[in-house]
Amino acid sequence: MSARMNQPLPVVRVGEIASDENAQRWLVEGLWGASSVGVIGGAPKCSKTWLGLDMALSVATASGDDPAAPAAAAPSGPVGETSRD
């Protein structure tokens, strides 16, 4: 048997494990949390569709070049969008 197999397994208490689980993760910084779903609502003709499309494009491409548009905070990923009047 090797010397490695004779060594006991290391013990780590749960409280000693580093975690960033409490940190808020954003899909769109300060606006839309990662792994969340939601509804964009508002009065008719107030640019809800354009806001949704802009956010979807920012997330899908992980870009935020337009200072007027929300910036994606996470790596790019799949986006789903539905519209209903």
Q: Where are the domains of the chain?
A: 41-77
Assess contact for 55 and 39: CB atoms under 8 A. Answer: no
As a whole number of angstroms, the distance between CA 52 and CA 3 comes to: 59
48-75 b/e with 16+ CB inside 10 Å = b? Answer: eeeebebbeebbeeeeeeeeebbbbbee
Provide the pLDDT for residue 34: 81
Q: Can you give the pTM of this predicted structure?
A: 0.56
- Say which residues have a Cβ less than 8 Å from residue 61's Cβ, sequence separation at least 6: 72, 76
Q: Residues 9-61: pLDDT tens digits?
A: 888 888 887 777 677 778 877 888 888 888 899 999 999 989 888 888 888 88
